[in-house]
Chains A and B, each alone.
Chain A
Amino acid sequence: MVFHGKIVKNTLTALFAVVPFITFANFANDTVKVQPEHAPVAIHTEVAGHAEEHAPASKKDAIDAYIQHHLQDSHEFIFFSDEAEGKHYGFPLPVILVDGGLKVFSASKFEHGEKVAEVDGSYYKLHHGKIYKTDASGDLKLDAHHHPTAEKPFDMSITKNVVTMLLVSALMFFMFVGLAKSYKKGPIPTGFGRVLEPLIIFIREEVAIPNIGKDKYRKYMGFLLTVFFFIWILNLLGLTPLGTNVTGNISVTVCLALFTYLITQFSANKNYWKHIFWMPDVPVAMKIVLMPIEILGTLTKPFALLIRLFANITAGHVVMMSLIAMMFVGKNLAADMPISIGLTLFIAVIELLVAFLQAFIFTMLSSLFIGMAVQDHHHEGDHDGHHDEEPIII
């Protein structure tokens, strides 16, 4: 083989890193398309929640609004709705507001955003998944961009995404504690553990050790493994008809990237800071020029991380839902349905891959950043040499 293993691996990683840009283009397109039409439609659905007469003219807009609504977090867990009767099948989730004291009430008070909720003398209204403080009339004082100018109380409700994350956390806890316990019976895990163990070894052998180094990787395995499985399971859950979109929510990706950022900064050694603030082996003028660039670089890395995950998952959801919706927009159902289903199936398979890839890339890049922060000066060269001769026992 002429190609060195590491080169092939790096090329693959580079390709994966480029993937989001391709998908991102689609996504940006979609949002641009959705954005201007979005506000009036939303008002329309609000005003006439269950009006049938609008159906043909605004079908496309209704779908846009529906997708938009799906991408957002929600205060209730709706599995499916009956548009004709305006009925929603699901359950409301608790709302927790910090607004002059803690206010806890059920989201059913909003009646799916149609009513003003009165709690302890304050009035709240739901508008595009956000809670605004308002008066008894429910006037949100929309500005020129159709954004409400009304005050937003600090909303720390147990939303749909929080519930999903809790479920995933519980699932992960039981899965991996089960795996840990199965080692007490023998050296080889049984049952589902046989699937999980190779993944753990994969993260260790292919992600943590090559990027962070054999001596230091152990400390970060907890974070890397947790984040990998957390993102992956959430991505996969987003592909189910449950209709959750957790990793496609900017707040979630910001939090994940922030963790990587904080871990990187707090575990960074002297050498790392030296390379940021006073780059060695370059002229003084360059050192001064490089300093702000390097400082900015520490921020752009986690920023790229959070945007990549968010954009990929959001794009996947938008594309999938748009393709499904295609059959409702077209005039000939018999002709549109096979195309729509075929394309959706095709994209769904790709999304299955993307779900894994994005979790992998997030973990990979996190470990890469951590590795950059903790590596010794001449470590890279030594490490390469060392890695090649190291026997791989799986």
Chain B
Amino acid sequence: MDKLVNDFSLGLFFWQAVILVVLILLLVKFAWKPIMTSIAAREEGIANALASAEAARKEMHNLQADNQRILQEARLERDAMIKEAREIKEKMIADAKALATEQGDKMIEQAKATINSEKNAAMAELKNQVAGLSLEIAEKLLKNELSDKGAQTALVEKLLGDVKLN
């Protein structure tokens, strides 16, 4: 301890104090303050950049999820549309088929009716012609009868024989 006290030099202490005070003041003004401010500003910048990168990443993630959702929706919609179109097509075919059948039936019906009426008309005409023919025959017969009794009887016999043959 005695040695320590003996070694102590007030002059050196004085200079050290002066140098330290001046050095601290100078460095604070010209070095520490600008350095600390720059470092703090840079760190703030880095922190901000990181935060915004994180936000961008999140947004990207959201966007991707959105896209996925929209895609899914579109796919569903497309499937629905295809299904609907198929149904419409089948319905149309069925309808067309039904309509055609109906139309055909109607035409056949009409044709049948026409054939029937034509046949009836033909039958009526035939009947008329048969009647006419009968009358003509009868007329001719009567004319012959009136001239020859035997012949008349033979004719009648013959006619009757014809009828029988018929």
Contacts and interface: CB of A to CB of B under 8 A. Distances in A.
Given A173-B23, A223-B24, A250-B4, A155 B9 contact: yes
A187 B32 contact: no
Contacts of B23: 169, 172-173, 226, 230
B13 to A, nearest CB: 4
A200 B35 contact: yes
Contacts of A165: 15-16, 19
Contacts of B43: 393
A130 B39 CA distance: 46
A225 B15 contact: no
Interface in B1-28: 3-4, 6-17, 19-20, 22-24, 26-28
A172 to B, nearest CB: 7
A154 interface: yes
Contacts of A256: 16, 20
- Consensus secondary structure, chain B interface: helix
Nearest to B36: A221
Contacts of B11: 96, 154-157, 159
A254 B8 contact: yes
B42 interface: yes
B132 interface: no
Contact of A230 (B8, B20, B36): B20
Interface string B124-157: 0000000000000000000000000000000000
B31 A179 contact: yes
A162 B12 contact: yes
B26 A201 contact: no
Interface residues of A, number: 51
A183 B38 contact: yes
Nearest to A183: B38
B46 to A, nearest CB: 6
Contacts of A200: 35-36, 39
A35 B3 contact: yes
B9 A226 contact: no
Contacts of B30: 173, 176-177, 180
Interface string A166-210: 100100110011011001000110000000010011001000000
Contact of B12 (A35, A169, A201, A252): A252
A147 interface: yes
A167 to B, nearest CB: 11
Interface in A25-41: 31, 35
A123 interface: no
B26 to A, nearest CB: 6
Contacts of B10: 154-156, 251
B20 A176 contact: no
A223 B45 CA distance: 27
Contacts of A211: none
Nearest to B23: A169
A254 B9 CA distance: 10
Contacts of A225: 27, 32
Nearest to B6: A147
A180 B31 contact: yes
A158 interface: yes
Contact of B46 (A169, A254, A393): A393
B19 A173 contact: no
A222 interface: yes
A183 to B, nearest CB: 4
A110 interface: no
Interface of B: 3-4, 6-17, 19-20, 22-24, 26-28, 30-36, 38-39, 41-43, 45-47
7 contacts: A165-B19, A172-B23, A173-B31, A180-B30, A222-B32, A251-B10, A251-B12
Given A73-B9, A183-B34, A226-B20, 20 more contacts: A72-B7, A156-B14, A159-B9, A159-B12, A161-B16, A172-B23, A172-B27, A176-B35, A177-B30, A187-B41, A187-B42, A197-B39, A204-B36, A222-B32, A249-B12, A251-B10, A251-B16, A255-B16, A259-B20, A391-B47
